[in-house]
Structure 1
Amino acid sequence: MAGFSKTLLCVACCCLCFLSVSSLLERLEHPVKDDGSLSFVVIGDWGRKGKYNQSQVALQMGRVGERINIDFVISTGDNFYDGGLTSANDPVFEKSFTKIYTAKSLQKKWYNVLGNHDYRGNVEAQLDPLFERIDRRWICKRSFIVDTEIAEFFFVDTTPFVDKYFLKPKHHTYDWRGVLPRKEYLSKLLQDVDLALKESTANWKIVVGHHTIRSIGHHGDTNELVQQLLPIIEENNVDMYINGHDHCLQHISSTSSQIQFLTSGGGSKSWKGDLDELNRKGLKFYYDGQGFMSVELKQSIAKIVFYDIFGKTLHALNLFKGVDSAM
């Protein structure tokens, strides 16, 4: 009996150890094209049932997606306004997503992160695999990795980093299930991101989150990410940090590393009109309006283009593994 008790204790300890080392980053795989290349479009801050030019942005996304033969779509969060989804049966999902992004080229996987507005709703609902059965394109997780051979995409849940959502909710409630206790959650997430980046042998390393790290827009820099996430992605030679949150299109080059900070948050309501004129260091492009971004990746070059609601090219750049040149 004593031996049996010791066995149970050992099993319990092993289970606890397994839980303590298991990663918060689920790994997914996505194939590249036959020639080894990859292309995708990026949209953020979009879900408004087609209003505020959401439908016009979707139309142009479809056209660009067809032209460059995209492999998938990335959403940088704030997927459903103003307060996320209420349940797995919320009709807002179809009204703001399925019935808006109808172009043939957009019928690919959508890799989504959560934004602060999504956290105001039922987060567990938005993460529910049921939506993948309603619309096979939908993939939404807190933090995860998409491995595409040519590049690895590290999707990071940034909302729990921001102090004000916990300290000053401004009459909003947030669904913190799954991220409490907060300190332990963030510590584990940062450790997992750091380890995954260190182990990555991908040609391109791209981190995706909702909140800004560098921005001259309405929200500006997110200090918590500057202090906690930025040192990790700088140390691990990340090529791009892609985000939404500021409802604009933006490109800022790091002056201390190879990182390009790319904001694609113009999926619907925009035109804030306020800029941080003192935070322009490294700024290459800023557009305070609706639109989206495309990326075409090959082994040695990444072509990035920003578009407005008419499909007009606003800004383009090529990255040659750490060296960029505006086109």
Structure 2
Amino acid sequence: MNFIEGTRDVTEGELQANNITRYHVTRFYREQITKSDYYGQLKHIVEPSFEEFESPGHLDTSGEHDNTVVPGFQHKYAQTGLLLVTDRCASYCRYCFRKRIVGKNSDEIATDFSRVAQYIDDHPEMTNVLLSGGDPFVLNTAKLDKILNHLLPIPHLGSIRFGTKMVAYEPKRFEDPALLALFQRIHEGGKTAVIVTHFDHVGEISADAERNIGSLRAHGVQFLNQSVLLAKVNDDSKILAATFAKCHQMGVRPYYLFQGRPVKGASHFQVSLRRGIEIARGINQRLSGIQKTFKYIMSHYTGKIEILDLGADGRVYMRYHQNKTPEKIGRIFSRPHLEGACWLEDLPEG
């Protein structure tokens, strides 16, 4: 198997034991990053590294198993449902936090959409559903339409989101005329269609991506972007500021900058909290007020934690952006900083 550092003989057992996904990337993305000025950074997103063999961590860092209420459907936060519709992606990100699922025949993928719809129908507090996976847009549009058949009749659903990196990996997928009809169905059903793109680096934003985003926006689709803070890839405030500024220019609202998770086979991508706070501060210093709409987030087992600052008192200040317990949302808390800490559990209590 080819790695960034060279070729290495590996058995299937070694790959499984170390949670290493096989190399898989679209021709479009490979050409996009090779021709860019950023190949030295972007190659780490899709090309395997020897570091994956020495990268400890967990397979479920956010408690997805514990929040699964129907096979393939999670309900962690009151207003939001998470629907896993596929275990496949157009390309495999080396830092993926769902390595336990992606590229495998997983039993965590939804199959009984009637049962999912019944659960949503029974929970009127749920106002939006996020289709994820894998990447929902690896499914053909007819399959997505069938899924919508179950979701659109539910009156208290106000929006339907699609989490995808396909806009970077294979933007021509969004030139499918049937997709426009699908988004029109959502609109006519009285709901908002939202695509959450996944641009980690300005070098991933192709002319095709920009053109197709513009076309879909003209048809009423809203766009958000989430990025992951990744060592060797985008741990640079100038790069991320340029990424967010470009997203804003395209009408894609910067949404989350995620702290890298301690995922087995991918924790080498983590950046320390001290460095992450410095980067987030540098991004904000480079953007205008209307461009800095992102939150620096740790997607933790207990909830989405906004990382605010490292105080002069040596404490890391945080706030719950989302939590299973509504009373905790918005609450600021702190922990003593420990040099090199990358995750909440790395910080001592007290």
TM-score range, shorter chain: 0.3 to 0.5
Counting helix residues as a fraction of each chain, which structure ranks higher? 2
Greater RCO, CA 8 A, separation 6+: 1
Given the two structures, how large is their TM-score scaled by the length of structure 1? 0.38
TM-score, length basis structure 2: 0.36
